[in-house]
Amino acid sequence: MASHYFSTSHGDVHYVRRGMGDPLLLVHNLYPGASGDEFEHNIAELSRHFTVYAIDLLGFGLSDAPWIRYTAGTYVNLLRKFIEEEIGGRTHVMAAGLSCGYAAEVAVWRPDLVNRLVFVSPRSEPVGLTAPRWIAPLQRLLMSTPLGTGLYDTISCEYELSSYLHGCFYNPRHITHEKVQRIHDHAVRRGSGHAYASLVTGFLDVDIFKSLPHVLAAVLLLWGRQARPTPVEHSVRLTSITRSCTLHVVENAGTWVHDEQSAQVNRVVAQFLNNEVPVASHVG
């Protein structure tokens, strides 16, 4: 998988491209050390059916990480421009966690760019600190001080990243030293704390409940039965407000269901995106 770069006004955005067929854009969740590597067990199989683009969002992975105020709009606009200019046409989108909200926004404002959507354990509750919005800029400024830098250094150490992953997986055997090391390598890259500062202060929050009712594209919700901290019960409201929605719950899997039960997820995603057979729906 050769690396490619997409130029933006804020810097170069890294992605890998593999396969042939209809385009499929993969968008990782947001956390220290996040990158398109989150889909390492999905890219090869899905590329047998689609031209897969696995992007590193600005400030993450191998993409540039400028000192800017990252917002939800930063990533909504990035995804829109990437689909328009790099992919060059209508695409399927598979997103995880908080990034599901960004993909939903693109689908609402530019329905001509989005074919079908796959959301993996979408984050529906605020990520930012529970404080008045006017305090957020001050909190973000604090994150740029030595105190904030020290805090980021602590949460991006291998021990804390391993603890984070243990909360994402049902079976800890999937949490390898290599996985933790790779995430840590991304987390300590120069500038990697900038996007995190916006994440923990709420600038990257997006209300998916506002956008989903207006999404015209068919949506597949994928959830691990044992997912935490976004449990499968959160899917009830999401399915009720989405025009065309299928919920598929995978047993013995946490939030990273696309990694932990990748064979099943890859099969279900390919069937859904190709509209081959209805994906079995699970509500309980």
Indicate which CATH number applies to the domain containing 219.
3.40.50.1820
d(Cα 79, Cα 276) in Å, to the nearest integer?
27
Mean pLDDT for the chain overall: 90
H/E element, 222: strand 219-224
Is 224 inside any structural domain? yes
Is the pLDDT at 145 greater than 70? The verdict is no
Choose among 64, 112, 115, 109: nearest CA to 94. 115
> Is the pTM value of this prediction over 0.75?
yes
In the numeric block, the tokens 């009720």 are attached to 240
Is 91 inside any structural domain? yes
Confidence band for 150, pLDDT divided at 50, 70 and 90: low
Is 119 inside any structural domain? yes
| pLDDT at site 152 | 82
Confidence band for 197, pLDDT divided at 50, 70 and 90: confident
Cβ-proximal residues to 272 (8 Å cutoff; 6+ apart), any chain? 116, 118, 218, 220, 246, 279
Is 36 inside any structural domain? yes
Q: What share of the chain has pLDDT > 90, as a percent? A: 77
Residue 65, both tokens: 């990480």
Q: Strands of 219-224's sheet, edge to edge?
A: 3-8, 11-18, 50-55, 22-27, 91-96, 114-120, 219-224, 245-250
Is 160 inside any structural domain? no
Is the pLDDT at 139 greater than 80? The verdict is no
Is 134 inside any structural domain? no
Instruction: Give residue-wise pLDDT tens across range 57-67.
Output: 999 999 999 98
Count: domains in the chain: 1
Is 181 inside any structural domain? no
| pLDDT at site 283 | 44
Is 94 inside any structural domain? yes
Instruction: Give residue-wise pLDDT tens across range 223-271.
Output: 999 998 889 998 999 999 999 999 999 999 999 999 999 999 999 999 9
- Which structural domain range is residue 11 located in? 3-125+204-274
